[in-house]
């Protein structure tokens, strides 16, 4: 990686993560001088660990509806002008083998570092300097002045690609929000997203013994539902379905769990009653759910007797409860484990075509720092690629 070789750059990109590296490729292709700085030891550290080390780099179904933002229209333009198919083409050009795992999620066959190497190769003539701190940033009428690890440099354009606050251990600082505020660019409320949910002592009493138990369910928070795996943990609930609804859950909200979304529990129990009427209720539920969960449900719902003792009405009531099981999380695991940060730089203050601030010429925000957050499943990287392309092409 290079040192800072010049005193002036056309563009300085803050953050050598997914969005920053991608933007560097586009910006340098237009012939300008580009510097990318990062305080980390390595570029693209989140890419490296993403998708269990194989990077879920996009989703073939990615579209505006998979993103959360105060302005649901904002992401449309960038997503349409640099799509998942554009990124897939780039991956193919670099001969990176990939596969669809599930639900349109594309992963590398090999290591996630292939994506980092690809972005570094695409960054071409851009200088990338690591272990470099942003000590100061200010703007005169015509350009930005920065102090980077003690060295004074200037730039015509600044691209803030410093990501969100998720996983501080990996170098997330939230500095992008501070830069926005310094330049009077509004920032919405932010909170941890794609994150496990936690419970108070009363619920943990029955949840903790279930730690490690998983099942496919439908989780709903604030009218948005996801059919994926739910996992009980020592501190609450996790798994893909939980991470997905965490984006829609706010403190004080309930989460509805349909414990068997694709089958009628009433029909299943009624059939079981016909063939095995003498089965105890806990045992009957164990034909539908993991055993530990079946026992817990039988206890919680105070089910007594055997199947033959249950009227159709009683079975229907039980089935309804299991299709609409209600949980009330007390919080989330927070930024420590969250995959993303919800909220960010207010999209009303940015051009959706270029990501440039409407009030500060030459100041751009891309990637996770912007108030656009994707679902789990490759959507957040797609936003990083698309917003970076919009900005890099415009600079
Ligand atoms: P990103 O966080 O990638 O980059 C920001 C860069 O800025 C970092 O390199 C950081 O060091 C640097 N920086 C921060 N503060 C700085 C400062 N003060 N000075 C200098 N540099 C600074 N998404 C997805 O689509 N598919 C997936 O498989 C996964 N998997 C995944 C796993 C895990 C564990 C996490 C935490 C997250 C994911 N994600 C994901 C989400 C995805 O990683 C995330 O949305 C993108 O990396 C965001 O890209 P950005 O470039 O905006 O930020």
- Quote the pTM value: 0.97
Tell me the C-alpha distance between 220 and 226, whole Å: 7
**pLDDT for the residue numbered 256:** 98
Q: Which residue in this structure is represented by tokens 């349909």?
A: 258
Q: What is the pLDDT of residue 184?
A: 98
Asked if 193 contacts 341 with a C-beta cutoff of 8 angstroms, the reply is yes
Instruction: List residues bridging with 139 in a β-sheet.
Output: 144
Best residue for ligand 1 mutational test, from 84, 166, 339 (most atoms within 8 Å of Cβ): 339
Closest ligand 1 atom number to CA of residue 107: 28
Of ligand 1's listed atoms, the one at least distance from the Cα of 134 is 19
pLDDT tens-digit readout, 269-278: 999 999 999 9
The verdict on the CB of residue 160 being under 6 Å from ligand 1 is no
Ligand 1 atom 37 nearest Cα: 339
Q: Specify whether the CB–CB gap between 32 and 350 falls below 8 A.
A: no
* Binding site membership of 339 for ligand 1 (Cβ less than 6 Å): yes
CA-nearest residue for atom 29, ligand 1, is 50
Q: Evaluate if residue 58 carries a pLDDT over 60.
A: yes
| CA dihedral for 61, 66, 72, 78, sign (positive or negative) | negative
Atom of ligand 1 nearest to the CA of 51: 28
Pocket residue to mutate for ligand 1, from 39, 43, 50, 55, most atoms within 8 A of Cβ: 50
- Which of 378, 380, 392 gets mutated to test ligand 1 (max ligand atoms within 8 A of its CB)? 380
Percent of the chain with pLDDT over 90: 98
Bridge partners of residue 231, in order along the sequence: 214, 238
State how far the Cα of 384 lies from the Cα of 7, in Å rounded to an integer: 28
Ligand 1 atom with the smallest distance to the CA of 369 is: 52
ipTM exceeding the 0.95 mark: yes
Separation of 128 CA from ligand 1 center, angstroms? 17
Distance 14 CA to ligand 1 centre (A): 12
In three state form, how does the secondary structure of the chain look? CCCCCCCEEEEEEECCCHHHHHHHHHHHHCCCCEEEECCCCCCCHHHHHHHHHCCEEEECCCCHHHEECCCCCHHHHHHHHCCHHHHHHHHHHCCCCEEECCCCEEEECCCCHHHHHHHHHHCCCCEEECCCCEEEEEECCCCEEEEECCEEEEEEEEEECCCCCCCHHHCCCCHHHHHHHHCCCCECCCEEECCCEECCHHHHHHHHHHCCCEEEEEEEECCEEEEEEEEECCCEEECHHHHHHHCCCCCCCCEEEECCCCCCHHHHHHHHHHHCCCCEHHHHHCCCCCHHHHHHHHHHCCCCCEHHHCCHHHHHHHHHHHHCEEECCCEECHHHCCCEEECCECHHHECCCCCEECCCCCEEECHHHECCEECCCCHHHHHHHHHHHHHHHHC
Over residues 47-53, mean pLDDT:
97
CA of 341 to the centre of ligand 1 (A): 10
pLDDT tens digit sequence for 68-105:
999 999 999 999 999 999 999 999 999 999 999 999 99
Q: What percentage of the chain carries pLDDT values higher than 70? A: 99
pLDDT at 370: 98
Average pLDDT over residues 20-26: 98
* 8 Å CB contact between 174 and 182: no
Mutate which of 130, 162, 174, 178 for ligand 1? The one with the most ligand atoms within 8 Å of its CB, which is 162
Which pLDDT band, with edges at 50, 70 and 90, does 1 fall under?
low
What pLDDT shows up at residue 2?
Answer: 61
Q: What tokens were used for 311?
A: 């009227």
> Could you tell me the pLDDT band of residue 3, with boundaries at 50, 70 and 90?
confident
Task: Compute the distance from residue 302 Cα to the ligand 1 centre, in Å.
Answer: 46
Q: How far apart are CA 62 and CA 66, in angstroms?
A: 7
List pLDDT tens digits, range 233-256: 999 999 999 999 999 999 999 999
pLDDT tens figures, 33-43: 999 999 999 99
62 Cβ inside 6 Å of ligand 1: no
For atom 24 of ligand 1, the residue with the nearest CA is 378
Residue 46 CB less than 6 A away from ligand 1: yes
Q: Is the CB of 16 under 6 A from ligand 1?
A: yes
Per-chain mean pLDDT for the chain: 97
Q: Tens of pLDDT along 334-380?
A: 999 999 999 999 999 999 999 999 999 999 999 999 999 999 999 99
Q: Which atom of ligand 1 is nearest to the CA of 18?
A: 51
What tens digit of pLDDT does each residue of 126-169 get? 999 999 999 999 999 889 999 999 999 999 999 999 999 999 99
């Amino acid at each position: 990686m290079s040192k800072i070789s010049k005193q002036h750059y056309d563009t300085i990109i803050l953050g050598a993560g997914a969005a920053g590296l991608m933007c560097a490729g586009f910006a340098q292709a237009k012939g300008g001088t580009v510097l990318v700085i990062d305080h980390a030891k390595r570029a693209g550290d989140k890419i490296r660990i993403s998708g269990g080390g194989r990077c879920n780099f996009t989703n073939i179904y990615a579209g505006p509806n998979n993103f959360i933002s105060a302005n649901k229209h904002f992401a449309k333009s960038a997503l349409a002008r640099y799509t998942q198919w554009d990124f897939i083409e780039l991956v193919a050009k670099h001969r990176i083998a990939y596969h669809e795992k599930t639900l349109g999620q594309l992963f590398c066959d090999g290591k996630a570092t292939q994506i980092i190497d690809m972005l570094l190769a695409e960054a071409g003539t851009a200088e990338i300097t690591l272990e470099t701190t942003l000590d100061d940033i200010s703007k005169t009428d015509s350009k930005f002045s920065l102090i980077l690890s003690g060295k004074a440099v200037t730039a015509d354009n600044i691209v803030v690609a410093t990501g969100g606050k998720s996983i501080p251990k990996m170098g997330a600082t939230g500095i992008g929000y501070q830069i926005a505020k310094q330049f009077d660019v509004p920032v919405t409320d932010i909170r941890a997203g794609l994150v496990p949910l936690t419970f108070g002592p009363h619920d943990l009493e029955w949840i903790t013994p279930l730690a490690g138990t998983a099942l496919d369910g439908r989780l709903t928070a604030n009218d948005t539902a996801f059919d994926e795996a739910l996992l009980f943990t020592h501190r609450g609930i996790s798994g893909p379905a939980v991470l997905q609804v965490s984006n829609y859950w706010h403190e004080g909200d309930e989460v509805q769990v349909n414990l068997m979304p694709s089958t009628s529990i009433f029909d299943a129990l009624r059939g079981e009653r016909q063939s095995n009427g003498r089965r105890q209720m806990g045992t009957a539920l164990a034909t539908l759910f993991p055993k530990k969960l079946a026992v817990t449900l039988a206890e919680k719902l105070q089910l007594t007797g055997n199947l033959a003792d249950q009227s159709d009405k009683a079975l229907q009531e039980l089935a309804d409860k299991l299709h609409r099981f209600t949980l009330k999380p007390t919080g989330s695991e927070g930024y420590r484990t969250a995959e993303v940060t919800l909220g960010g730089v207010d999209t009303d203050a940015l051009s959706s075509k270029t990501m440039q601030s409407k009030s500060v010429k030459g100041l751009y925000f891309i990637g996770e720092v912007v108030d656009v957050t994707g679902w789990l499943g490759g959507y957040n990287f797609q936003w990083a690629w698309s917003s970076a392309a919009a900005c890099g092409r415009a600079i």
